[in-house]
Chains A and B, each alone.
Chain A
Amino acid sequence: MDGEIVRLHDVVKIYGSERSGVRALDGVTIGFRPGSFTAVMGPSGSGKSTFLHCAAGLDRPTSGSVLLDGQELSALSERKLTELRRARIGFVFQAFNLLPALTVLENVTLPLRLAGRRPKRAAVFDVLARVGLDGKMNRRPSELSGGQQQRVAIARALITRPAVVFGDEPTGALDTGTSREVLSLLRETVRQAGLTVIMVTHDPVAAAYADRVVFLADGRFVGELDSPTVAGVAERMTHLGAMAQQRIPSGVA
């Protein structure tokens, strides 16, 4: 357990009332090592999104504990939790990632400003250069392509030098070519900066960019693959999908 940056222990998340509610996470225990790139996969309704929300401190589990860098999240107030998220966690979402009112530069530096810190010019230029947007920093999101918008989101996630970057289907809204660029960028950042990336996806191609793939079904971890290939992931997913179809669909994404 030592040396794990994110640790979930026996996490249960129930939506609705305790008795009749939906168990989206049903006792999840898992850890993530620093510098790793993990893909979380599962069929629809397996609890992927709930897992991400709980692990990233966006939502509170019904029971169980979530540790970020040794810090228990459930003990924190909403404000402390937000401040911790701001300092230690970066996010890349599927769509509607950026504030349309702000330019690229302003979007990227927003987390720093929220924390009351002055963005350092060199650091900002460095991040923008890394995602290949150094020439477009005064554009507005509406003037960028989907792939470029997602690069801005990655830059924003990196600007605070977080311990972990969470991705929620970060390539879900992109075409294959653009997806590949964004994923390569994510993988490179992990290698270069020693970041930890946890990415939820249902796309085997995206998952194959990760070091490790873990599989969720019905709110539990049901297996994992190290150094995955597209074919390996796809086969495991087909299997899980067939299993899920035999049960009554739970309806929770």
Chain B
Amino acid sequence: MIRLALRTLRFRTGGFVASFIALLFGATIVMACGGLMETGIRTAIPPQRLAGAPIVVTGDQSSGAKGSGEDLAERVRLDAGLVGSIAAVPGVAAAIPDVSFPATLLHNGEPSTPSTGHGWDSARLAPYTMTSGAAPSTADDVVADTSLGLKVGDEIRLAVAGGARDFHVVGLVSAKTADPATMFFTDREADTLLNSPGKVDSIGVVPTQGTNADTLAQQLTTVLSGHQAVALTGDDRGQAEITGSVNGGDNLVALAGVFGGLGIAIAIFVVGATLGLSIQQRQRELALLRAIGTTPRQLRRMVLTEVIAVAVLATGLAYFPGQAAGRWLTRQMGANGVISPAIQFHQGWIPTVSAVGIGLLTALLAGFIAANRAARAKPTEALAEAALPQHWVSWLRITAALACLGGATALAIVTATVMAGPVAASTAGPSSVLWACALALLGPGLFRLCTAVFRWPLRTFTGLAGYVAVLNAKAAKIRMAGAVVPNMLATGMAIAMVYLQTTSVADADSAYVASLRADAVVASSTGGLPTGFVDTVRRTPGVAAASAFATTSGYLTEPGGNSDDKHQDEPDVENYPIQGISADAAAQTTATTVAQGSLTRLTGNTIALPTGIAADYGAALGQTIPIELGDGTRLNPTVVALLTGQRGDDTILMPADLVIPHLTNGLLPQILVTAAPGTSTAQLTANLAALAANQPGLVVEDRAALAGQFADQQQTSEWINYLLVAMIVGYAVISLINTLVMTTNRRRAEFALHRLVGSTKAQVLRMVSVEGLLVASSGIVLGTVIGAAVLVPFGYAASGSPMPHGPWWVYFAVVAGAIGLSLAATVLPTWAALRTPAVEAVGSGD
């Protein structure tokens, strides 16, 4: 049987191409996502500046917030005292502290080139060579990277630590790395400019000769215990160089997981449909095999063997495009700021083997269903003309359809009632697959319904061609439904996925605009502003109120869990966005509604919580609540206000003065300003812009510019989602073309018969066009149903309105695309088939 299967494969290569393509693309997507996932888990960032230190000790970004599985949002810094303790460990030749801070070169008071400042000591860890000059010796000396284009002796002005200062260039170094521009200061000065006294970012450790780095790293753990610190070796060291911790590794894991899962679901779907179709087309041959004595079991085994052979080849070959796609996606994500560009794509054997395994399992599952269908072939079918299959209703099919419908409905209910805000996408997304499965299982029945609806308009507008097409559709409803399903899948996925994104973005935009009371925002292009600058702004003419504004995130621990108990059951920890604001101006500059308490008391060690969170964590007004800030610092602030925010908005407010020292660069990112009565926005921004004279890099934006910026930023982060959606939809489109070409090619003899009984070529082409139109319209109707079933509960959960937000043209583009592709994929093969003389083609029944 195995030999027969392989023989058939070799002989009927064409019939298996469709399945091969479906499997190849499915496995490629799964493999790329697997690679991305491994990349995200490893976050391999090869060290550049610290490459000279075989061990790098740095803050443990995952040390706080145990159990959340997420990294801390801000850089966890180390006590400078740790340098001495490490240097004292036997086997350590040198322990060199390293700090990084923004130091922007100013040209005529305007920021020109952004660069990063470090202490001179750390220069010896990197492959830097001194090209001219000497090491920095006074507080005003700097050594610059040759890429900055400076000369020894140049007097320069730098924006550092929120202010501007003059320095002179005493030396130049050149680097062999692709690191951004670098400046070196004296170690003491670097420490001052860091804005975090007594702290260092990382410590480079050089072992003595003959000491193994990994062994030494192990030994260092004794010294490090009690500190939130880790000793990194190899490619992991690069993590220490990324300022802050936002390298995007977690994003990558989540994205890869979601889209990999979606890819698998659709692959099962597409491969199943394609295999089913190819089995259906070989019905006569299978019946012949049955007639001459093949048992159903032998037939099943034969079909499974064929499928496995194709699957092994396809998933094996998918390794190459899978790698390429993963690499490309990683590069794109790096370039677009979704992840750190320093992250290297890494695909080891685990994702490869899993993807191959998943591909084979998918094929097996689909093949098993197809084989069962094959085994049901009746031997008498070999004797009659291959009849068009008419029976599609089976208990299994109906049960599966009902199960999918039930699951999808449950998800829809959960989305609409339990979920709130943008998180609702996490249940709305998977529900699209379930809806699609349910509708696909009921495909032939739904297609008959669609045919009944479209019958009259088609006959009216297309005459004879429509008449024949409708007759064909009724006679071959299973075959046609096979073409409707991928159409439905492609349109449904495109509509659901694209509008899920646009709705989320639009909701976030409107939430942002609604939350923004300020008339203008003051920010800096050189890293940040000094904390005291709020008062300067407040004193500016035309300013009614000015509030500091810093965004970060922190962790709350569910009551009952014990966060100090490190080895027991991990407590339930949640990450929440935190805004640092100025108490006196908060009411005028943010749109938060206070339910209880007052924001004016938000000074010192205090916090304001959304009512929902306060209830969840059992924190009442006047009580304290333990919170872990972005850099892992634990505080116990007093609750001074309870807030009622927008649905799904769970932003916590804290005093800016409390939050800012725990930000990575310790600088104030933004100041929100409201205009005094009678002062126009233009007047206000002009007055504020005048402050730039003493504050280089000052940026003043009005409301509209801010909203625009926020939208742009959103688009950037959503961009990768669109890319992955495009991948999934593209896959569905491939299967659509696959199926249509496959079914049309199969009808050569039928077309020839039409020709022989007197149809012109044009008439045959018109007939298939109408059929293609019918298939596309049915697919679009069903796809729209899927889209609506996904988007209505999501819209309700996210914004309280069932209508999705987003441009209408997307829908029309999807509709036009579906019609165009369906027509092209039916008309072109038909046209090709019609080129064979009818008399020859009519005999080629097979």
Contacts and interface: CB of A to CB of B under 8 A. Distances in A.
Interface of A: 49, 52-53, 58-59, 78-79, 82-83, 85-87, 91, 93-94, 96-97, 99-102, 106, 110-111, 113-115, 156, 160, 168, 253
Contacts of A253: 384
A53 B380 CA distance: 7
B296 A85 contact: no
A221 to B, nearest CB: 21
Contacts of A106: 7
In the A-B complex, the 8 residue pairs with the smallest Cβ-Cβ separation, listed nearest first, are: A86-B293, A101-B11, A58-B379, A82-B295, A101-B8, A101-B7, A58-B380, A53-B380
B703 interface: no
B296 A78 contact: yes
Interface string B272-314: 0000000000001100111111111110000000000000000
Given A79-B295, A82-B290, A114-B294, A49 B383 contact: yes
A108 B7 CA distance: 15
A200 to B, nearest CB: 10
Contacts of A86: 292-294
Contacts of A83: 293, 295
Given A58-B379, A97-B288, 17 more contacts: A52-B383, A53-B383, A58-B291, A59-B379, A83-B293, A83-B295, A91-B292, A93-B383, A94-B383, A99-B285, A101-B10, A101-B11, A102-B4, A102-B7, A113-B4, A114-B298, A160-B293
Contacts of B380: 53, 58-59
B4 A110 contact: yes
A114 B293 contact: yes
B378 A59 contact: yes
Nearest to B297: A79
B604 interface: no
B179 interface: no
A40 B1 CA distance: 35
B780 interface: no
B166 interface: no
Contacts of A52: 383
Contacts of B1: 114
Contacts of A94: 383
Interface string B1-15: 100100110111000
B71 to A, nearest CB: 57
Residue picked from A82, A94, A99, most chain B C-beta under 10 Å: A82
A114 B331 CA distance: 54
A85 B845 CA distance: 27
A253 B4 CA distance: 33
Nearest to A94: B383
B391 to A, nearest CB: 13
A153 B10 CA distance: 23
A172 B195 CA distance: 97
Given A101-B8, A102-B7, A168-B383, A96 B288 contact: yes
A49 B384 CA distance: 9
Nearest to B291: A91
Contacts of B297: 79
Nearest to A156: B292
Contact of A82 (B7, B285, B296, B382): B296
Given A49-B383, A58-B383, A96 B846 contact: yes
A96 B293 contact: no
A115 B293 contact: yes
Interface string B363-404: 000000000000000111011100000000000000000000
Given A49-B383, A58-B380, A59-B380, A99 B288 contact: yes
A90 to B, nearest CB: 8
Contacts of B383: 49, 52-53, 58, 93-94, 168
Nearest to A93: B383
B11 A100 contact: yes
Nearest to B11: A101
